Structure 1
Amino acid sequence: MTNHSVPVSIDGISFQLKELHPFEWLQKLGRVFCVFDQQDSGNLSFGIEREGRKKFVKYAGAPTVAYTGTPQEAIIRLKQALPLYEALNHPHLITLEEHFEVENGYAAVFDWFDGECLHSHWSFPPPQKYTHPDSPFFRFRQLPVEERLRSLDCIFSFHVHVEASGYVAVDFYDGSILYDFKQGLTEICDIDLYRKKPFINTMGRLWGSSRFMSPEEFELGADIDARTNVFNMGAIAFGLLGGERDRSYLKWEADEELYETALRAVQPDRDERYASVAEFYAAWNAARNIKPSGIGGKC
């Protein structure tokens, strides 16, 4: 947190901003029961409840403490991202209900999903993320392998849908995964930086967590495409079933055939990977000896 912050309180919930900001518009949506104020995206998010129904509100326009850009830049990015949730609507993606302009910013309202983020860096920064008994990631890694495989099935099937819809995933990492420990359900959030194909790396180092990024996501002028997303899916598999960056079989908790499938997906040479997420997912399911669940399967 920066040294220049002021405390703000809404409905008894306190959080920090760089300076005061009006939030009267929130009252019509309901009562605030939680706030996420540590994101570096420039967005401020709220849990809202009204008449027993919960919503998740993502808002751009407030001067958040962890963001280095301007509120106007955050507003533009949020507006650009919202059509993605409509174009990529899917049973395993959080549901966008509405979005609208307010006097000092822009708000998007999503259905509330009662899951926990697997990379809750504001509460459990590394190394606590990997070792603290209350860390969602640590608790997820204690689940039986079969339950984690079902979660990965949600992730893979969604990205087959992304691919078939003509998009590529950008900045997908374990912070984009929500897991409901009570019901054993997985949903994906924060797809704000996904892009329509074809997409070229014009930045050098793209947005994202280096733990899950392919070599081309660091290469200016490289194609970011299906093989890039194959790498991303393989890296996620190692994150949830193996040693994350340590991709040795010693750290792997599932069977050898699944290990070989994930290992091919994360080859530095893109030509050695599967050609598409759909091909990777088919190989993954063949290794599990099951038929693909399809994009609408319940996870």
Structure 2
Amino acid sequence: MNGSQVISLGSVSFQLKEKHDFEWLKSLGDVFCVFDEQDSGNICFGVEKNGTKRFVKYAGAKTLEYSGHPEDAIARLKRSISLYQDLNHPHLINLLDYFEVENGYGLVFDWFNGECLHSHWSFPPPHKYNHPDSPFYRYKQLPIAYRLASLKSIFEFHLHVEKKNYVAVDFYDGSILYDFKNNITKICDIDLYMAKPFINTMGRLWGSSRFMSPEEFKLGAEIDEKTNVFNMGAIAFGLLGGELDRSFLKWDAGHELYEVALKAVEEDRSRRYSSVEDFFIAWNIASKKMIELINTIKH
């Protein structure tokens, strides 16, 4: 690629727009993997020291996919520290440490052995949806009970977000990590979540349009719990249905759960559930019936 610099750290190599000093990284351990294709301005590393793995998120380098200023990426990363602290939860990746270096800023998290459901760097669409090795494809082949348990983790975390008086911004399937060996789901990348009240001052907010409500495209709109209800319903359609094709034909989890998800993604805000809590109550009732039905069929 024109004007790019290859950086090598141990056995791992990646490209940046220009050279950058990563000497500081050596003290954290040996780099065993790199995630360098985000458009956020961050670059992330897996490091291992004395048998313990950590995940390092760093801003300050000029990554190939990022068109903004490194200073802005640094400011966003610094701002996210309080989010990980305030919203700390068993279903959220755990922040351990943060520090400044000469040309940037780093956050250190516990390593979680999960795979990202939107690994666009390895499986760009359509491979995401049809390649047998794609994490998303493999997730969609999981039994319904496993996917319902996974969604429960996602909804529980966002109920926690709501109770803490925050709103989710830029939550999509790329924020979901799934450990296929242990069937555990964790949330990552909550860097753009906002304390309420939050007004849309951008027009089109950050995020994947596949999961965004109408108000996330509307300048001056209030982004609130009803916005997050839409977001949760859209995620349900992504993980149990046909994503933007919200027909019952593409839905894997029975009529009652379908009706709950459909109400959540109403274009008209007044017709949605009033809160993530209300949505989650309705979802749990329908989910319990679905699990009972699955168990009846098994026996």
Give the aligned partner of residue 105 of structure 2: 106
2:288, 2:142 → 1: CA distance? Answer: 21
Q: How does 1:53-92 map to 2 (within 5 A)?
A: 53-92=52-91
Residues 142-174 of structure 1: CA deviation (Å, up to 9, x unaligned): 000110000000000000000000100000000
Asked if residue 50 in structure 1 is aligned to residue 53 in structure 2, the reply is no
Distance 2:187 2:95 in 1: 12
> Identity of counterpart residues, as a percentage?
69
Output the amino acid matched with 1:288.
S
Count, aligned residues: 289
Using the size of structure 1 for normalisation, the TM-score is: 0.96
Runs of 4+ in 1 over 4 A off after TM superposition: none
Aligned pairs for 1:136-285 (under 5 A) are 136-285=135-284
The Cα RMSD (Å) is 0.8
| Structure 1: runs of 5 or more not aligned | 291-299
Higher relative CO (Cα under 8 Å, sequence separation at least 6) belongs to 1
Superposed displacement of residue 188, structure 1: 0.2
Deviation string 1:72-95 (CA, Å, 9 cap, x unpaired) is 111111001111000000000000
Counterpart of 2:85 in 1: which secondary structure? helix
Alpha-carbon distance in structure 2 between the residues aligned to 1:61 and 1:178: 25
Q: Aligned-pair distance for 1:255?
A: 1.1
SS in 1 for 2:8: strand
Shift of 1:6: 1.3
Contact 2:197 2:223 in 1 (8 A): yes
Q: CA deviation at 1:289?
A: 2.7
Contact 2:148 2:287 in 1 (8 A): no
Structure whose residues are more often helix by fraction? 2
Shift of the alpha carbon at 1:5? 1.2
- The alpha-carbon deviation at position 12 of structure 1 amounts to 1.4
Letter in 2 for 1:222: A
Give structure 2 stretches of 5+ with no counterpart: 290-299
1:253-280 Cα distance to aligned partner (Å, 9 max, x none): 0010000000000000000000000000
Q: TM-score, normalised by structure 2?
A: 0.96
- Which residue identity is paired with 1:65? L
**Deviation, structure 1 residue 207:** 0.3
